Amino acid sequence: MSGAPTGRGRRVRPQPEEQHPDERWTVSYMDMVTVLMVLFIVLFAMSTVDQQKYEELRNSLATGFGVEEAGKIDTAEGVVVPVEKIDEEGEGFTDLELAMLEVDRLRALQEAIDDDLAGKGLADTVRFKVDERGLTVRLVSSETFFEAESAGLTQQARDILDSVGAALAPAPYAVSVEGHADHRATKDFQTNWELSSARATQVVRQLVDRSAIAPGRMAAVGFGSARPLAEGDSTDVLATNRRVDVVVLSDEPEAVRALIPGLVAQG
């Protein structure tokens, strides 16, 4: 049978797929877009957190990119201080934390003195006060510590100062020994300035000679009757104002020391 051949059995050759080698840049483009998106998210997060969170983020990113070893990141409240910087003055601590540490150190000194005095049966012979100046060890009533109208120390005073000196000798603090007198005239000294200064000097000599406290840490000051603790002429008031204060001077910055009275009041 004649006629045109049909398409049955005719093999159709597949058309080659179109190649677009110039579109490979889209992969790099999408990677760049992704990186930019992450960058903007990070920048937004950094703009809405506090300084502590910023430092944590910075350390985390640095560690992730291999820039530096940031160590363990502590997200707990408070200040994170590297171990190697704990002994550096003020490093990584707030003023409040420094004040708390100082109160603990001063109270440890107080307890050491008090324990030593208690072992000698002299626990009630001094008074303590912790404030912005430091620790005050108050020797009250001149008759207990000095001969009448004299700067000479009694034996009990020497025993008490041995306990004070034993605790202060290894401590790093400077010490101000401050003499005070009541307002009455004295017989053996021209003024109460001389009497109070002489008594302060005797306490300094005792601490330096017996306890080997470095002289450069010590100072003797006489206030006469200019700074009474109480007003009046009663026997108790006069005895209270006749005193020598051994003041262990805190060397913390003023902003830190100003917080100490509040911490002491809180107990």
Sign of CA dihedral 28, 34, 36, 42: negative
Report the DSSP beta bridge partners of residue 222: 179
The tens place of each residue's pLDDT in the chain, 267 residues long, gives 555 555 555 555 655 555 555 666 666 777 777 877 777 777 776 665 556 655 665 665 555 444 444 444 444 444 444 444 444 555 678 999 999 999 999 999 999 999 999 999 998 889 999 999 999 999 876 667 887 677 889 999 999 999 999 999 999 999 999 999 888 888 889 999 999 999 999 999 999 999 999 999 999 999 999 999 999 989 888 888 888 999 999 999 999 999 999 999 997
Count of positions (residues) in the chain:
267
Q: What is the pLDDT of residue 72?
A: 47
- Reference 89, options 248, 214, 256; nearest CA is 256
**pLDDT number for residue 126:** 92
Distance CA 159, CA 200 (A): 16
Phi, psi values for residue 234, rounded to 5°: -70, 160
Q: Can you list the domains of the chain with their CATH numbers?
A: 27-75 (no CATH), 95-266 (3.30.1330.60)
Q: In terms of Cα–Cα distance, which of 151, 153, 170, 164 is closest to 122?
A: 164
